[in-house]
Amino acid sequence: MKILTLNTWQELGAPWKDRWEVTFEGVGRLCPQIAAFQELFNRSWAETVQKRAGFSTLIFPEENCGLALYANYPAASWGMVQLTQSPLEEYFRGVLWAELKVAGEALYFFNTHLSWKLEDGATRRKQVQEVLQLIEEKSAGKEAVLVGDLNAPPDSEEIQTLIREGGFRDTFRLCHPGEAGFSWDNRNPYAGGSLHKMPDRRIDYILARGAGPLLKNLKSSGLIFTAPGSKGFWASDHFGLLAEFQ
C-alpha cells in the first residue's frame, strides 16, 4: 500500500495547471493507492484530478478547507472537523478523516494542514491536541495514518506531541535517520521566490500508528516531486512524500 501527500499550492504559480501535469505524471509513475492533498479548494478541479489520476474514491468536503482525499479503496465513513482558528489567519483549518476499507481491514486516515506562520506555535499546539482528540474518538486501538502539511519541524513540540502522546511513527525519520529531508526547500524556486520567506524545513509528514497487518511493515518513505518536470515546472512550492507499507 502506497500513500502520497502533497500541499498543491492552490491555483498559484504560472501556469498552475501545467504544475499539475507534474503531479499527474508522478501519480501515474508511483501508483499510490491513497493520495492526500492540501490547498485544493476547487471542487470541479478536484473531480478532474480524480478522473485524470484514476482514483475510485474522492472525498471532498463541502466546507472550503482545502483538503481532499483520493483512494482506490471504499470509504465506510468520513467527515471534516474544524480546528482552532489562528488569530494570525483569516481562514479556518480542519482535519479530513475517513475510515477506509483495505483488504478487509479498517484504516483510519487523517489529512490536515496546520497554521503556517513561524510564530504561531501556540495555535499549532492547540490544533495538535484537537487532532489527537479526533483520532482517539474515531480510531482508538485501530490502525491510523496522519498526513499533511503540519508547518512544524520534526523536533518541535507539535510533532513530538504527536509521537509521544499520539503514539505515531515518523515514517521518513525511520527510513532516513539523520537526514534533513526538507519538504520546504528554498532551492525550489516557488519556495525560494515566495513573499513569505521561511527557512528550509521538513514540515510535511506521513505518520503511522498501529502494528496491525496494514502498517506494521514499513518498506519505504521519502520525498517526491523534488525536481521540475520535463517542461521546467515544479509540482508545488512544497515537495511531497510517498510511503509504502508491505
- Long-range CB contact pairs, 225-229, < 8 A, 24+: 225/6, 225/22, 225/23, 225/26, 226/185, 228/22, 229/21, 229/22, 229/25
Domain boundaries in the chain? 2-245
Q: What is the mean pLDDT of the chain?
A: 97
pLDDT in tens, 95-154: 999 999 999 999 999 999 999 999 999 999 999 999 999 999 999 999 999 999 999 999
C-alpha grid cell, residue 84:
482552532
Amino acid 14: pLDDT: 85
Q: How remote is the C-alpha of 229 from its chain's centroid?
A: 21
Domain 2-245 sits in CATH at 3.60.10.10
C-alpha grid cell, residue 233:
515546472
How confident is the model over 212-224, as a mean pLDDT? 97
Q: Is the pLDDT of residue 194 over 80?
A: no
pLDDT in tens, 15-50: 999 999 999 999 999 999 999 999 999 999 999 999
Q: Is the pLDDT of residue 64 over 90?
A: no
Amino acid 107: pLDDT: 98
Share of the chain above pLDDT 90, in %: 96
Amino acid 217: pLDDT: 97
Q: What's at 63, amino acid-wise? A: E
Please count the other Cβ atoms lying within 10 Å of the Cβ belonging to residue 194.
15
C-alpha grid cell, residue 99:
475510515
